[in-house]
A and B are shown apart, each in its own frame.
Chain A
């Protein structure tokens, strides 16, 4: 093999060696797994409707149940297998948020319960909350200033 001298050559070498990710198959798997998770959510919503529970409350119930399931499946090392198969299909729904809390917490358990589990829980969830909450505050302030939701005005 020729020696690698430049960064560009190295990149070409890496591209050549790394397996082509079969994007169509990945998309198909993430479609049906993600869709299935959302359909389960909708079934829970339908059950709440059947029991005459208010819609905002129902949405919270759906989130909590899905988070519960995915947190414990992660704890039992089952969720990671689903994640490997489904990619974004299990990452993008709220299940991925719960998974992103549990897996680093498990990994760093040996560093103790405060700086290990307690702190590392937020390695991924932290940024999500920072950007999500900040964005919501900005939305609130912008709404206060213009007193409108731009699109609904049109």
Chain B
């Protein structure tokens, strides 16, 4: 197929390395600080939003593609970037609309597929 010839394997490798490094930061936080996973996710999203707001995170996205957008920091970055873009378009109200608008697909998919998956799952039975 023509598609496989057109893949930018260098970019895939960069995504692998950068994504892996971001996960290592999370792993070190888990092992060294005993933070709960909820706190770690919150820290990553907030950090991504701040770095995105400062315009730093975009450099990482340009460099590593999905390696920067797939981790939750990328989710935070998408929220912040969306807010800024919407402020540019509609002003003050944009701050309240842009973030969720940019992340709408991910949030809606997570809620919908999450609900479906919980419905079809069978609770684990403990063997007596």
Chain A residues with CB under 8 Å of chain B are: 21, 23, 26-27, 30-39, 41-47, 49-50, 56, 59-64, 66-68, 71-72, 74-77, 87-89, 91-94, 96-98, 100-102, 105-107, 109-110, 117-118, 121, 123-125, 127-129, 131-133, 135-144, 149-152
Complex-state Cα separation, A78 to B58, whole angstroms = 34
Contact of B42 among A94, A109, A128 (CB under 8 A): A128
Is A140 a contact partner of B20 (Cβ separation < 8 A)? Answer: no
Contact of B20 among A32, A87, A91, A121 (CB under 8 A): A32
Is A135 a contact partner of B79 (Cβ separation < 8 A)? Answer: yes
Is B114 a contact partner of A89 (Cβ separation < 8 A)? Answer: no
Contacts of A45 in B (CB 8 A): 65-66
Contacts of A101 in B (CB 8 A): 110-111, 114
Chain B residues with CB under 8 Å of chain A are: 2-3, 6-8, 11-13, 15-32, 37-38, 40-42, 44-46, 48-50, 52-56, 64-67, 69-72, 74-76, 78-80, 82-84, 86-87, 91-92, 94-96, 98-100, 102-103, 105-107, 109-111, 113-121, 123-124
Contacts of B123 in A (CB 8 A): 106-107, 109-110
- Answer whether A87 and B27 are a contact pair too, CB < 8 Å, given A38-B15, A47-B3, A152-B55: yes
Contact of B37 among A47, A76, A96 (CB under 8 A): A96
Is A38 a contact partner of B66 (Cβ separation < 8 A)? Answer: yes
Count: A-B pairs, CB below 8 Å: 311
- Answer whether A121 and B49 are a contact pair too, CB < 8 Å, given A33-B23, A75-B118: no
Contacts of B3 in A (CB 8 A): 46-47, 50
Is A117 a contact partner of B66 (Cβ separation < 8 A)? Answer: no
- Answer whether A41 and B84 are a contact pair too, CB < 8 Å, given A34-B22, A60-B105: no
Name 18 A/B residue pairs within 8 A (Cβ), A-sorted.
Answer: A27-B24, A34-B26, A35-B67, A38-B66, A41-B65, A42-B66, A46-B7, A59-B69, A64-B105, A67-B113, A71-B114, A97-B75, A132-B45, A132-B49, A135-B76, A136-B53, A136-B82, A139-B80
